[in-house]
Amino acid sequence: MVKPPGSEPRRSRRTGPTPLTLRDRPLVIAHRGASQALPEHTLGAYRRALEQGVDGLECDVRLTSDGHLVCVHDRRVERTSNGRGPVSTLALHQLEALDWATWRNPWRDLDEDALDDDPQASFVTLERLLDLVKDWGQPVDLAIETKHPTRYAGLVERSLVELLHRYGWARTRRGVRSPVRVMSFSWISLRRCLEIAPGLEMVYLMERVPLRYRDGTLPLGASVAGPSMEIVRAHPEYVEAAHAAGHEVHVWVANAATDIELCAAIGADAVITDDPEGALRQLTARSTRLGTGELPTRLEET
């Protein structure tokens, strides 16, 4: 019987990319932390994801007006805080003074059990998140997305690599893989990172697959394809094409059970999800059924 992709035991990704055939499921990456349960990009969201047993965390980074890398998705702070203005025009102390949690729980002020100044709801700098990953008791990956366009252009990438150097994760020893990978929709951003840290893994994110890359190839230097869930639903054959070209495939954002199942069935290497607990539960159950022969070994048999 032909074994399905991912039907054998997994290996730690610390020492290098794990061949698809040695995994029993896709890696589960927490998108902005456990962001379905808790406010995105907060310390609590990332701690919750780690406690749930995720394989990795994902964050977006932007540069403040005083040169700090912070974990914020939007260009402006209005959606996820009680502040106003672009992140790039605010200093770190101004961002830290904002409320980054109440938007998810507008009745929090009326909740007698809610803690004032709950540290788990606190704003997260990239440095703080790197400390969390470093001090966690087991290996965990961190996927860092650089946002573009920005007013600071290449300064974002330089600041990122300089910070990773402090942790020994920009250039690792021979045979040792950094737990950090850089993601971007901008090939220019990835190229800037490669020029100063060629050992870092680069993920080329795509909302649509450019015509020249529909054969599974990627821009020079990128080793991981990052198609949207919409791409994978419409063209599941893209995953096989990327694998044939020698690239891993990390799909974003997979939340629905049907999407998680599709990603697993076609051999995606990782799913980036807002609900890591649900994804882990579903994929673990799926692996168990595969082991007992309850699931078909190939997608076309379903």
- Residues with catalytic roles: 31, 73
Angle between helices 187-196 and 155-166 (to 10 degrees): 40
Total Cβ atoms within 10 A of residue 192: 22
Burial environment of residue 92 by CB neighbours within 10 A (0 to 12, 13 to 18, 19 or more): middle
Structure tokens at 55: 């394989």
Enumerate the β-bridge partners of residue 29. 56, 272
Burial environment of residue 178 by CB neighbours within 10 A (0 to 12, 13 to 18, 19 or more): buried
**With b meaning 16 or more CB within 10 Å and e meaning fewer, what string describes 130-156?**
bebbeeeeeebbbbbbbbeebebeeeb
Q: C-alpha dihedral over 90, 91, 95, 96, to 10 degrees?
A: -170
Burial environment of residue 225 by CB neighbours within 10 A (0 to 12, 13 to 18, 19 or more): buried
Beta strand 248-252 pairing with 224-227:
parallel
Task: Report CA 224 to chain centroid distance, whole Å.
Answer: 12
Q: Are 183 and 145 in contact (CB under 8 A)?
A: yes
SS3 state of residue 68: coil
